[in-house]
Amino acid sequence: MTVAHMKLQSFRVTNFRSVRDSGWIDAGSVSALIGTNESGKTNLLVPLWKLNPAKEGEIKLLQDAPRKDFNNYRQMEDKPIFITALFDLSDSLADQVAKIAKLPASDVKKVEISRDFDGEYFVSFPDVVREVEKKKIEQTFALLLKEVKKVAAANDDDSSHKEVLIQALDAATKHLASKPDKVSNDTIQELETILNNALEGIPAKAPVAALYKQKAVKEVRSYSKEADNPAPAARV
């Protein structure tokens, strides 16, 4: 029988009692915290315990928040996270999660679980990176280039604007060509900036400008949303 389990790899404590930011602390099969009395060892372990306490483990803002931040934290609608832990999932558990998330099991082998001062949990998968196929964007630019030329040919008033927009599409295409086969949202936003800059000085009502905005800017923005779609995560 295959056992589904999670193994703690590391954890990080932030803004809990005397600990501002512990940085990531490795947690091997055997780990030890060494320090003098009152040096803060307990304040590193208590948050980890409060991530999933077997009993008790109530979060008490007055006791657990840094003293000078208590009043600010008390008034916050969304309380700060105080503990984040990174786990490795067993193969069987990763397979189960992968089916739910509709992702390869290798993408969900690692999971981060955090908890805030309201006791809410946050779950995310750090190995999942959202990207967009470069080829899709290149095809959008190629089709738009044909449409811009067609609309400009049918509207004499747009002939002077056509070259500006074509140059912008060429610049965006060349910029994209230097990127990998899959691009991140940073690259897509760079493309959007190139395209938007070309619209300065062109009347918004010009047919070619309206087409350009509808097709180029809107399409690229949709790719940006696709790339910016967060990795599978949950607030529990």
| pLDDT for res 1 | 45
Tell me the CATH number of domain 6-124, given options 1.10.3910, 3.40.50, 1.10.10, 3.30.70.
Answer: 3.40.50
Confidence band (pLDDT; 50, 70, 90) for 232?
low
**Comparison of pLDDT for 230 and 171, the residue scoring more:** 171
- The tokens describing 7, both together, are 């193994």
- 69 HSE (CA, 13 A, CB side): 18
- Name the residue among 103, 97, 51 with its Cα closest to residue 230: 103
Whether residue 189 has pLDDT greater than 50: yes
- Per the CB < 8 A criterion, the answer to whether 12 and 24 are in contact is yes
Whole-number pLDDT of residue 162: 83
- In this predicted structure, which of 50-64, 78-92, 203-217 has the lowest mean pLDDT? 203-217
Mean pLDDT of 39-66: 88
Mean pLDDT taken over the chain: 84
Of 32, 35, 13, 15, nearest in space to 24 by CA: 13
Least confident of 83-97, 106-120, 143-157, 216-230: 216-230
User: Which contacts (CB < 8 Å, 24+ apart) does range 196-202 have?
Assistant: 197/168, 198/164, 198/165, 198/167, 198/168, 201/164, 202/161, 202/164, 202/165
User: Mean pLDDT: which of 9-23, 121-135, 185-199 is highest?
Assistant: 9-23
Domain extents in the chain? 6-124, 132-228
